Amino acid sequence: MLNSITKLFKQLLDGNDLGHHSHNDPNLAIACLLCEVAGADHQIDLSEQQAKQQLLIRLLALNEQQAQVLLGKAEVNRKDSASLYDFTSQLRELSQETRYQLIQAMWEVAHADGDIDPLEEAVIRKTAELLYVDHRDFIRAKLSVTEKQSATEKQDGADEK
């Protein structure tokens, strides 16, 4: 928190316009948001790490090494960030469908460990609001992830019998 305030004051003193980011990298912003949701509950397990990497590979058409490098940069930027707005402001030009896919990917990261923590849900909700994703689509994305997991678990249970 103190780092965020210090960073804000440094930007003001340096004369930087806080409304414009010196680096506009949508891929990095997406990776930062996935890291933000994974770290919201202060417990990042292996399944969430793997989910972030696989989602970046799928969403951004990256290879495994590129995804790992992007996640490393994202973790650093996430820690230096003052708010979600730092990332969402870079993604407003995305299509509505792409923004929906991002929210769905955030739900996948949150649900990767089998449980959606209220703090994770709050991060996704705020991101959806900042990206102007309708509440209906926010819920639709959540249900698509949780119902897919439920169907997989039922299928696994039937296979064991």
Domain that holds residue 102: 23-160
Cα(48)–Cα(86) distance, rounded to whole angstroms?
A: 22
- Which tens digit of pLDDT belongs to each residue from 97-120? 999 999 999 999 999 999 999 999
pLDDT tens per residue across span 105-161: 999 999 999 999 999 999 999 999 999 999 999 999 999 999 876 665 555 555 555
**Structural domain contains residue 78:** yes
Structural domain includes residue 10: no
- Inside any domain, residue 36: yes
The answer to whether residue 14 is domain-embedded is no
16, part of any domain: no
Please give the tally of structural domains in the chain: 1
CATH of the domain at 88: 1.10.3680.10
Angle between helices 64-80 and 2-13 (to 10 degrees): 80
Q: Is residue 6 part of a domain?
A: no
